[in-house]
Amino acid sequence: MIAKTPEPPYYAVIFTSVRTDGDNGYAEMADKMTELAKNQPGFLGIESAREQIGISVSYWRDPESIKQWKENLEHQVARKKGKEIWYRQFTTRIAKVEREYSFES
């Protein structure tokens, strides 16, 4: 599903990853983090896709909202498990969205 975001500017956190083999509780934690993020102040939406690499883009009102999400204790636990169990490699990028073009038929 494509996230319904407000008029720019807003911010995107782009998380790209390569997973380890097996689920090892990943799917359950991913669902939990999505629900937790939805209740975080400043959260605007999320989009995810997974094939050979995973890409999740979460949208945020401002840099402070992103910082507060990073400091969330449950999110810290999930990030630690990600490094130890679920990911072979990952990169997080933060970008300011200045323009948006949409189409829907």
Quick: pLDDT tens for 53-101. 999 999 999 999 999 999 999 999 999 999 999 999 999 999 999 999 9
| Mean of the per-residue pLDDT values of the chain | 96
Question: Does residue 71 lie within any of the structural domains?
Answer: no
Question: Is residue 97 in a domain?
Answer: no
Q: Checking DSSP bridges between strand 10-19 and strand 54-60, what pairing results, if any?
A: antiparallel
Q: What is the pLDDT of residue 75?
A: 97
Q: What is the pLDDT of residue 30?
A: 94
- Is the pLDDT at 1 greater than 90? The verdict is no
Predicted confidence at residue 81, as pLDDT, reads 96
How many domains would you assign to the chain?
1
Is position 65 within any domain? no
Q: What is the pLDDT of residue 77?
A: 96
Spatial distance between the Cα atoms of 58 and 16, rounded to a whole number of angstroms: 12
Tell whether 14 is covered by a domain.
yes
Q: Vertex 43, ends 56 and 16: CA angle to 5°?
A: 15
**Minimal CA–CA distance to 89: which of 51, 50, 54, 56?**
54
- Domain with 36 in it: 7-54
**Residue 92 maps to a domain:** no
